[in-house]
């Protein structure tokens, strides 16, 4: 029987304490890996590590900060002696009419998604090249990187940047044996995403009706794809951006539908209410 084996692989998952990062962490553990997770909230990381066991190493690290990233990855290498893979999963996102965005709001998203992925990739890539080690970077993007997406413009711009980084580094670092890939998930309900991206139950229902397979993605489906890509079953896959979305992207970019279902003032009020709710 062909199995995905990650025995003794040391994998870093940014944002591994919640949602899809946590789901991937749990899958990697089941395949035999050791996983270091980071995020900004210590209690969230410790809870995930407590449930998953000693193969999970929690570390508070803000990916926007180069010093914090250096400390995190140095700690992983000191603890486990090596680093096999980095999963750039940490992200920020919210719904907003773009003409209302403050410069800080735009930067908040770009700094986590694009700058954070650069920090992790830069540290790991230099480490692997110096140590002649064939590492792997797996970036979690979105299906709207090629199309853009209404009402989540900073995320679309930042994720498109991460996609470009994926393709650039895949070619540049292929000669070192370093693989660089991306997964573009469709819709996988998580607390982090749904609390910020679904204005209300009615709009969520309209959103769900767009799903060609009549359902959302399941965590284990994403976990299996990520584990496969990080495993020794995929040595020739690099420079790939793989959607896992049940063909949802063929309906159009995720949040464009909002422009059809409500007028702008109604949307702006709904976005403001979401912002206030997530600040509480």
Please tell me the distance from the alpha carbon of residue 72 to that of residue 158, in angstroms, as a whole number.
23
- What the block records as the tokens of 42 is 């210590």
Beta bridge partners of 85: 11, 136
Site for ligand HXC in 149-188 (CB under 6 A): 155, 187
Locate tokens 């060609």: which residue? 212
From the list ligand HXC, ligand NAP, none, which binds 156 (C-beta under 5 to 8 Å, kind-based)? none
User: Would you say 109 or 170 has its CB closer to ligand HXC?
Assistant: 109
Please tell me the distance from the alpha carbon of residue 197 to that of residue 272, in angstroms, as a whole number.
12
Candidate residues 91, 124, 156, 230; the one interacting with ligand HXC per rule CB under 6 A: 91
Residue 60 touches ligand HXC, criterion: CB under 6 A:
no
Residue 105 touches ligand HXC, criterion: CB under 6 A:
yes
Q: Which residues are catalytic?
A: 144
- Say if CB 87 and CB 11 are below 8 A apart: yes
Residue 192 touches ligand NAP, criterion: CB under 6 A:
yes
258 three-class SS? helix
Residue 154 touches ligand NAP, criterion: CB under 6 A:
no
In the bound complex, what is the minimum distance in angstroms from residue 131's beta carbon to ligand HXC? 32
Site for ligand NAP in 108-137 (CB under 6 A): 112, 116
Contacting range for ligand HXC; rule: CB under 6 A; set: 31-39, 45-53, 223-231, 272-280: 272-280
Residue 249 touches ligand HXC, criterion: CB under 6 A:
no
Please tell me the distance from the alpha carbon of residue 153 to that of residue 148, in angstroms, as a whole number.
7
- What the block records as the tokens of 139 is 């970036």
- What the block records as the tokens of 114 is 């694009």
Contacting range for ligand NAP; rule: CB under 6 A; set: 89-97, 128-136, 223-231, 232-240: 89-97
10: nearest Cα among 27, 34, 26, 28: 34
Q: What is the dihedral of CA 194, 197, 198, 203, to 10 degrees?
A: -140
Write out the residues near ligand HXC by the rule CB under 6 A: 91-94, 96, 102, 104-105, 108-109, 142, 155, 187, 192-193, 196-197, 254, 274-275, 278
């Amino acid at each position: 029987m062909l199995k995905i084996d990650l025995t003794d692989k040391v994998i870093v998952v940014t944002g591994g304490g919640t949602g899809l990062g946590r789901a991937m962490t749990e899958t990697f553990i089941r395949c035999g890996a050791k996983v270091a997770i980071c995020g900004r909230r210590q209690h969230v990381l410790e809870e995930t590590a407590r449930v998953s066991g000693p193969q999970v190493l929690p570390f508070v690290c803000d990916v926007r900060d180069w010093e914090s990233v250096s400390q995190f990855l140095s700690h992983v290498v000191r603890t486990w002696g090596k680093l096999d893979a980095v999963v750039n999963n940490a992200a920020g996102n919210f719904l907003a009419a773009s003409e209302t965005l403050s410069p800080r709001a735009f930067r908040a998203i770009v700094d986590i998604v694009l700058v954070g992925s650069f920090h992790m990739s830069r540290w790991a890539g230099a480490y692997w090249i110096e140590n002649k080690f064939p590492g792997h970077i797996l970036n979690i993007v979105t299906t709207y990187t090629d199309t853009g997406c209404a009402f989540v413009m900073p995320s679309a711009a930042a994720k498109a940047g991460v996609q470009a980084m994926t393709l650039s580094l895949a070619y540049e670092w292929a000669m070192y044996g370093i693989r660089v890939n991306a997964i573009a998930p469709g819709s996988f309900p998580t607390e982090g995403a749904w609390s910020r991206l679904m204005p209300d139950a009615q709009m969520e229902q309209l959103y769900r009706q767009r799903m060609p397979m009549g359902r959302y993605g399941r965590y284990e489906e994403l976990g299996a794809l990520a584990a496969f890509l990080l495993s020794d079953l995929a040595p020739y896959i690099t420079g790939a951006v793989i959607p896992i979305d049940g063909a949802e992207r063929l309906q159009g970019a995720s949040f464009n539908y909002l422009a059809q279902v409500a007028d702008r003032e109604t949307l702006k009020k709904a976005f403001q209410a979401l912002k206030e709710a997530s600040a509480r």
